Amino acid sequence: MQNHFPLWKNLLVLIIFGIGIIYSLPTLYGEDPSVQVSSTLATKIGQEQANRIESEIKSAGVTVKAFEFKDGRILARFNNTDDQLKVDDLLRDSLGSDYTVALNLAPTTPGWLRALGANAMYLGLDLRGGVHFLLEVDMDAAARQAEDRYTEDVRLALRNAKIRYQSVSKDGGFIKVTLKTADDKPALLTILDKDFRTLDITEPEAQDQVWLKVSEKEVREIKKFAVSQNMTTLRNRVNELGVAEPIIQQQGENRIMVQLPGVQDTTRAKEILGTTATLEYRMVDVEHDVQQAVAGHVPVGSRLFFERNGNPILLDRRVIVTGDLVFIEYKVETKTVNGQKVRHKEKVEKVINVATIQGVFSNRFQTTGLDSPEEARNLSLLLRAGALAAPVEIVEERTVGPSLGQDNINKGMLSFVVGFALVVLFMAVYYRLFGMIADLALAFNVVIVVAILSMLQATLTLPGIAGIILTVGMSVDANVLIFERIKEELKNGHTPQSAIYIGYEKAFATILDSHFTNLVVAVVLFAFGTGSIKGFAVTLIIGILSSMFTAITGTRMVINWIYGNRRVEKLSI
């Protein structure tokens, strides 16, 4: 009875293998190039509109693989990306701004698998195609914004404390406070010590002045928060775009990498990612002359802005409601100066409209004056997702086409098939029946890895495929250790049954040690790596754990079925 599993253990192994097969199946079905159409209006697309759009596509001479209409959304599937792009251009021109037309790759997983929650794993940018952006966070702007906030806060604190002052202004990195009289200086210092401890205080020779500066520690915290907050906001914005499994990661101190698999509309993606989108509501200053402000005499407590048509307007410095949630965005243009390309950053502040408040200004109100419904939708999306803590600039942009992604898949699969086939052939020839059992376990190891990645809805990249291939070699290595130990025990005179038992028992410690070492390395790669390194580490971790199960428990179960509970004279090893 040495080589015999109890019924529960056999059932457990079979159930795990069965679940692995079911949840790995969606990966075999692939995806269809598709175009998705939805309404941007309050009313959804109706059946009549869907029929009209279907007829328009067919009249263009494009073969439609499938046309699906459900919950007010249209999904048209095609046989190739050429037809997909042709229909995308056609519908964008004909439908207008009342509809959103998006390129998509729709899975072909059967309904019965989807009902079980079995979905194909997501493919990364290198396999699926899409866009890659590298964004640079303007750290200096984040620090300047903090100085602006502190300047306004200090000014407000002085008013609330009824401390008279001549000016509170920024100059040379300092917030310079000039009082009406030096007698109020102790009161000012008391307020600063109580409410502004993050500001360094300098007292110049002038007795009526105090200079304030944001401390170095606070500046570092502000810059760190700016990157962190921007990553959160970018994730929210990408979620609004409906991108499946985006990759948003920090690179260095001030850069953020954004990869959007499956996205081919780079223009809209750039608009959504790069716009700062801060919305502020201010009262109009009706007490002072706007023309004098244009001439350079801006009243204290007011700011000069310009409407979209260029007309000047005076607004109160104090903000009634903010969208940190005028509309502020930062644009970067590349200009040629003395034969060299220089990036010029411009802060654009637009007064959307000058409204009259009717009734109580509460938590529900409307903003009018935007140029188009498209601009209104973009502004709504940006405000829902939140404002960027600091301006960002797109310093690198790459587009990976679907055909290149498919080429990467083909090459990755070819390397996997060739490597797998060579390992299978070697094991079958060298270890005979035991080798074929190891090959079976090897196949199930890959199945389980794919199933777990699918259940986790992880993103598979080329490095991930490399991790799976490495797992194949590691899984075989475990079986080689076991089989060589069995052969050694046979040479030492043990019976076949005893050799099998001793081989598995004594090889286990060595296998556990080698796999644990590899697991530690994989965990370290995942913890400290970024991007593709993390993808490699994830598949490697899953593969190591899976190979321990298939190479030891899986193969032993099959060998027990063949050789267990009977007298054996010779092993096919």
pLDDT band, very low/low/confident/very high, at 75 (cuts 50, 70, 90)? confident
The residues with which 345 forms a beta bridge, in sequence order, are 332
The answer to whether domain 7-25+402-563 and domain 140-218 are alike in fold is: no
Give me the residue spans of the domains in the chain. Answer: 7-25+402-563, 31-107, 140-218, 220-400
Q: Which of 105-114, 200-209, 270-279, 446-455 has the highest mean pLDDT?
A: 446-455
Q: Which CATH class is domain 140-218?
A: alpha beta
pLDDT at site 407: 77
571 pLDDT more than 70: yes
Residue 326 binned pLDDT confidence (cut-offs 50, 70, 90): very low
Torsion of the alpha carbons at 266, 267, 272 and 275, rounded to the nearest 10:
130
Least confident stretch, 110-124, 157-171, 232-246, 370-384: 370-384
User: Which segment of 142-146, 202-206, 360-364 scores lowest on mean pLDDT?
Assistant: 360-364
**What angle separates helix 555-563 from helix 402-455, to the nearest 10 degrees?**
60
Instruction: Report which of 446, 408, 440 is spatially closest to residue 558, judged by C-alpha positions.
Output: 440
CA distance 351 to 326: 4
Q: Which two tokens stand for residue 52?
A: 């009209």
Mean pLDDT of all residues belonging to the chain: 79
pLDDT of residue 21: 92
Q: Is the pLDDT of residue 328 over 70?
A: no
Given a cut of 60, is residue 16 above it in pLDDT?
A: yes
Per residue, what are the HEC states of 512-572?
HHHHHHHHHHHHHHHHHCCCHHHHHHHHHHHHHHHHHHHHHHHHHHHHHHHHCCCCCCCCC
Per-residue model confidence (pLDDT) at position 436: 92
Residue that wins the pLDDT comparison between 222 and 278: 222
| pLDDT tens figures, 177-197 | 888 888 888 888 888 888 888
- Predicted confidence at residue 92, as pLDDT, reads 79
Residue 448's pLDDT band (cuts 50, 70, 90): very high
| pLDDT attached to residue 278 | 55
Is the CATH number 3.90.480.10 carried by domain 31-107? no
In which residue are the tokens 């046979």 written?
A: 490
Q: Is 529 exposed, middle or buried (0-12, 13-18, 19+ CB in 10 A)?
A: middle
pLDDT band at 61 (very low <50, low <70, confident <90, very high): confident
Selected residue with higher pLDDT from 353 and 526 = 526
Instruction: Report the topology of domain 7-25+402-563.
Output: Multidrug efflux transporter AcrB transmembrane fold (1.20.1640)
Task: Report the percentage of the chain scoring pLDDT > 90.
Answer: 5
Confidence category of residue 275, pLDDT binned at 50, 70, 90: low
Asked whether 27 and 46 are in contact (CB, 8 A), the reply is no
Interval 17-29 mean pLDDT:
89
Query: pLDDT grade, residue 42 (50/70/90)?
Result: low
Which secondary structure element, helix H or strand E, spans residue 151, and what is its range?
helix 139-160
Average pLDDT over residues 464-492: 86
Neighbours of 164 (CB within 10 A): 11
| Amino acid 380: pLDDT | 55
Q: Tens of pLDDT along 227-266?
A: 887 887 787 777 655 565 677 888 888 888 888 876 666 6
Q: What percent of the chain stands above pLDDT 70? A: 80
